[in-house]
Structure 1
Amino acid sequence: MSVQDDQRENQMIDRFNLHVPEDRKRADIDAYLTLGDQTVAFELKSATSRGVSTVRDLGPNHFAKWKNMHWIFGVYDRTGTRLLHSFYASPDDMVEWISGKEEYIRPDVELAEHAMRGVSAESVTSLLGYSDFYTRAEARWIMKNQWSVARYMEATDLTRDGEAGYSLDRMVEIMQERCYYVMSRGATLNNPHIPLSYIEKLAKITVEPAANLRRLVGNYLQSTSITDEATA
């Protein structure tokens, strides 16, 4: 995230009286709104004349993350420093755009899944040779830095002479996961923009931003609650 994007995000957090956990990381949710006993997750984006940029390598993980996300789109002046007005989008408002991108890459995701299922014990032994005990170094050679130290330890299913390791079956699973990761990296879109024409159809907020945002979110939560009760 650029310095300017970071400044805009902080401006929106202050303007709408949102909160951010102190230990937030870059890949985490941008901000939260607390409304009664509910905590609502928000994605914060700033708009330009080209629309709204999203993320590099947009793929299945982002679709899963955004499924229940609420959005604020801030529209700035030409200098990019003064927030003029904003648009609010509920999860339902974003379904059309998100599902369109998801459908676009679906063939590539399916291809990655088919390739993953093709990985077998023979795939492991052709690369590492046959063994009834594979070491963490061998697993790391396959997965590289995709996993944390804790995740490598969690995946172990054998112990020999005090050393944790992996069975052939577990190594197959590890190689399958790596295969899916490698293949699915190609099943992404590079920073697709959300067009202004899409954003401008959303609920516009110009005055009393914090209060109006809470009203809009409250209305959405109430409507979904009524729908859930009707279909229960």
Structure 2
Amino acid sequence: MAVQDDKREQQMRDRFNLKVTEDRKRSGIDAFLNLEGKVVNFELKSTTSGSVSTVRDFGPAHIEKWKDLHWIIAVYDQRGEKILRCHYASPVDMAPWIEGKRHYVLPDIVLGHDVATKVTADTVIKIFEGREGPYTKEDAKWIMKNQWGAEDYKAQMDTLGGYSLERMTEMLKLRCAYIMGRGSTLNNPHIEKSYVAKLPLLDEEEPAISLREHVRNYFNSASATEQATM
């Protein structure tokens, strides 16, 4: 993360009295709050232009991660130092934007999945120029590369110190899906300025209280909708 982005995120956490997870690098959650027994996770974004930069490679993992997140978008002055206003977006508010991006990458996602299922033992044998196994850890690393860590390679061994043809076929399918998945991403899709402008504004005098009111209203609305459809 850029130093400037990190500084802005800390400003936003301080402004709204939010916490950060101890394992943030693994969780990927920018901030959270505890509200009436619920843990509410947030995505924090900032902009000086109005439109919001998101992630380098947007794909299925982000669709899954973002569907339940709440968002705070801070609009800064042109120097990126002073917060001019902040918008709140509930999962419902962000759903149309996320769905639009999901729809855009869907053909590539389906293609990648279907191609991966076509990998067979014959594919493995062809890659290893006729060798049918067993395969060594070095062979596995040649296929999976840095996609796996040491524990993964150890856990997947199904022969004495190595891997069978069947296991190597499973691994090659995973590798194929991974490679195809990287190709089914969008490079840094932006949340449009017009989309941000329609999101609710958080009160500047009592930002932390205002945020909690918006989140509480979201949960109350979701609860009412759920009860009405029962």
What TM-score comes out, normalization by structure 2 length? 0.93
Q: Confirm whether residue 190 of structure 1 aligns to residue 191 of structure 2.
A: no
Gaps of 5+ in 2: none
- 1:181-218 deviation digits (Å, cap 9, x = unpaired): 11121111111111111011111012311111011001
- Mapping of residues 87-166 of structure 1, within 5 Å: 87-128=87-128, 129-156=130-157, 158-160=158-160, 163=161, 165-166=162-163
| Residue 204 of structure 1 pairs with residue 201 of structure 2 | yes
Report percent identity of matched pairs.
53
Query: Is the 8 Å Cα contact of residues 50 and 193 (structure 1) preserved in structure 2?
Result: no
Residue 227 of structure 1 corresponds to which residue in structure 2?
225
Q: Please say which of residues 174-183 and 127-136 is displaced more in the overlay.
A: 127-136
CA displacement at 1:127 relative to structure 2 = 1.2
CA distance in 2, matches of 1:2, 1:26: 18
Alignment match of 2:216 (pick from 215, 218, 221): 218
Q: What letter is aligned with 2:163? A: Y
Deviations 1:12-64 (A, max 9, x none): 01101110123321771111111011101100000221510001011111111
CA contact (8 A) 1:53 1:192 kept: yes
Q: Which amino acid aligns with 2:165?
A: L
CA-based RMSD: 1.6
Preserved CA contact (<8 Å) 2:50 2:196: no
For structure 1, the residue ranges without an aligned partner over 5 or more in a row are none
Aligned residue type for 1:210: A
**2:64 paired with 1:64:** yes
Shift of 1:5: 0.9
User: Using the alignment, how far apart are the partners of 1:117 and 1:132 within structure 2?
Assistant: 21
Comparing 219-228 with 124-133, greater Cα deviation is found at 124-133
1:230 Cα deviation from its structure 2 partner: 3.3
1:77 aligns with 2:77: yes
